[in-house]
Structures are given as structure tokens and as C-alpha cells.
Amino acid sequence: MNNTILPVEKNEDYKGNVIDLTHEGLGVVKIDNYPIFIQGALPEEVVTFKVVKVGKSFAFGKLITTHKKSPHRVESADPIYFQTGTMPLQHLEYSEQLKFKQKQVQNILEKTAELPGELVEETLGMKNPLGYRNKAQVPVRKMKDKLETGFYRRNSHELIPMEDFKIQDPKIDEAIIIIRDILRQHGVKPYDEKRNIGNIKNIMVRRGYHTGEMMIVLVTRTAKLFPLSKILPAILEALPEVVSIIQNVNPKRTNKILGEQAIILHGEDSYTDHLMGFKFKISHRSFYQVNPAQAEVLYQKVLDYAGLTGGETVIDAYCGIGTISLSLAKKAKHVYGIEIVAEAIEDAKKNAELNEVENVTYQKGSAEEVMLEWSKEGKSADLVVVDPPRKGLDPQFIESTLALKPEKFIYVSCNPATLARDLKYLVEGGYTVEKVQPVDMFPQTTHVETVVLMSRVEK
């Protein structure tokens, strides 16, 4: 690469106008049409920045001085939340965060799916966009000869000690500090990633939004957790709301937090919470929406779009522990749920029983395989609801769904890029996009959840 042809040089300072935000929340400055991405900079600002990384098509800069500030800047922003990447939009006024997310969905739907941006409604936000997360997974490491909890610096495994995460339920933050201090007091060895020694790797805390019940998961390198006889009573005395303590054993050097082996140390492998008027039992591995207040907003939108009258057959693919299925079952003839995670399917069955819902059937398996099987059997459905992981839908799943020919298709997405890609295929397969509703499930971050209603075009 020849640096002389680029308009900026590494380690040099420049001044420029911020013209946009990237989908990752970085401010964009252009010099001779060459973009520089700057964390902490906002549109309408004039800034001085140092170029820290130079590429052929773009560079990254570090904000030095803000000469003219955006009217939408939040002054209470703390650099630690930029460093860890936990709140990349903390410096942007919340009403503007909602507009930013609407624009993200509009842009990608126009570009990839060739859909009109006007279809995208205003983002549904929260009254209080902090303290919403009902689940925390914090790494434990040794720092200055002391067991420490916090979060990794962005794109690294370097721990930054943190006590107040701002976006987590404050009771969860308190619990992590209490557990950290108990582990310190009893000399529990924190994990050393480089040497693969020490024991405690992560602390996971989950808390029921409506019930207040708490689950603690101690992720360890080995099955031995010493001195357990002192740690357990100390945790239970300090945190009386704890109903479940699990030791999850993960001996591998991996980015995956949970291992295969789980040891129940207290209670059972579940805690309860309420959502959409239903009671749910949630195990330590099961997916459950981390923002329950907004999950109700999201699921209500799914129900509104479904417009069920009582005679419909519904398929809920990627059903998890049955949160959407049970709400749909209340108004449908029958709901079929599909889920690949064995523990989640067990939870889903228990939750149907717990809530005395009989018109729902759960099947374990990958959504694409089960749908293929059902399409070959000639099964039919009036409505298919999907809530896939970030990678979106498998092409085989889309083909099988098109073969089933449901009148309505509702797509709940956590990734606008894969959503746009999949909508393009569904439109080509004979569906039309009726409504697109972004929901802010993760305030202060760049993530956006989207609910899309599609209906089949008669051909």
C-alpha cells in the first residue's frame, strides 16, 4: 500500500466536520472523500482527531477536541463504556438513538431488499433506557494479585474492572460485587487465560424482572470449587433472593462462556419470571429476552400483526422456552414450536404445562430440517413466526416455508443485515412486506430488533 496517495497519515492530527454515524455508532469525517471513523464523535460536530489506523479505503481516528458540539450530545458519557463497547451510543440523546436505529433499518432495507424506507415505522423506545438487562455475564480475572470482575476492552481479552454497568439491573450489579467479595474472601483462584490455570472464569447472574428471583452461575475451569462449604452459605445469606446456584464447568480455552457440565449447588436449574401474563421457568442455558419490559412491547406487536381469530394453525420457529408460542396459543387453534436447544424445549414443555396451555406442541430439531420434513408431509400453516439468531434464516428454511404457503409470515430480527437479505428471498418467493416496526431492546447500544409483517400475494 502506498501511503503517499492517501489524504491522511497515521499519528497526525486533523480537523473536520462530522457528517454521519456508522451502523457501529462511529462518527464519520471525510477528507478528500476518504472516510475516517471516530468513536465518540457525533454528526453536526467539528472535531480535531488523531489518525490511529490507516487502510486503503478508510481510517480510524481518536477524538482529541470537540470545537463545536452536537445539540444532541449527552455530557455524562463515561469513556469506560466506549472502551468496553457496552454503551457505544451513550453520548447520543435517547430520542436521537431511536431515530438512528430507524434510519439503520431503512437504509439496509432500501439497499439490500430494495424496499421503500417509508415502510419503516418510528422505533419503539423505553421511558427509562438504563438498568434494563436481566442477565449479566462478567469475566473474572486476576489483576494486581486480586480477583477482579469487569468487562473486556473492545476487541481484546484485557479486563477493565467495572462495578456499575449502567444498562444492567442495579440489583444484578450489586450481586456481582457481593459474589466477587465472597470469592476474594475465601481465596478462590481467578482464571489465568494465558497459562490456563486458576478456576473461576465467569460469573453469570440472571434475575426475574417481575419476581425478583435470582440465579447465580459460577463458571469454573474444573469441577472442584474450594471452599464450597463456605462460599454457598455466604452467598445465600448475602443474597436471600437467590433461588438457584449452578456451577458450570468449562475446561476449554474458548470464547464460549458455558461448558457442557452443570452441577446444581442450590435449588434447581431454573428461576421464574412473568411475561405477557404467563409464568416462565428459565434454566441457566436457555435464551430469554434480556430486556423484559421491551420484550412485552415486541411480543405485543407480533400478536397485533398476527391478528388471530381462533381458527389458525401457527408455526413458531426458533421458539426458545415458548415465550412467543404461549402468547400466540391464547388466540390460535394450535401452535407448533421448533427449537434446536434441548434444554429450551424441555423448558417450553414445562412452561406450557405450568400455564395450562394445551394447544401447543413442541418439537426439538433445527428449524430448517423440521420445516423441510413438514413441507414434504404436506403440512399447512396459516401463520409462520420466526425469531432466528443473528445469522438469519437458512435458505432451506425459506424454501420449506414457501412450500407451506402460509398466508402470513412474521419475522422478528435482531440483525437488519440478515433480515434484509432474507426479506429479498421471501419477496421473490411471493410475499409482500406490509409493516416494519423497529423496537429498541438494547438502549445505549447500536443493536435494533425489528418485527416485520409479510403476507402472501396470490399468483
Catalytic residues: 414
Which of 10, 91, 13 is closest to 48 using CA atoms? 13
Only one residue has cell 472535531, namely 47
**How many other CB atoms are there within 10 angstroms of residue 404's CB atom?**
17
Cβ atoms of residues 247 and 225 within 8 Å? yes
Provide the sign of the torsion angle of the four alpha carbons 442, 445, 447, 450, taken in this order. Answer: positive
* Sheet of 449-456, strand order: 360-364, 334-339, 313-317, 383-386, 408-413, 449-456, 431-439
How is residue 443 written as a grid cell? 438502549
**Phi and psi dihedrals of 263, rounded to 5?**
-115, 125
User: CA of 65: how far to CAs of 38, 48, 68, 375, in Å?
Assistant: 12, 5, 9, 60
> Across the strands, what pairs with 351?
none
Is the torsion defined by CA of 164, 169, 174, 178 positive or negative? negative
Query: By the 8 A CB rule, do 106 and 448 touch?
Result: no
Asked whether the bond before 233 is cis by omega within 30 degrees of 0, the reply is: no
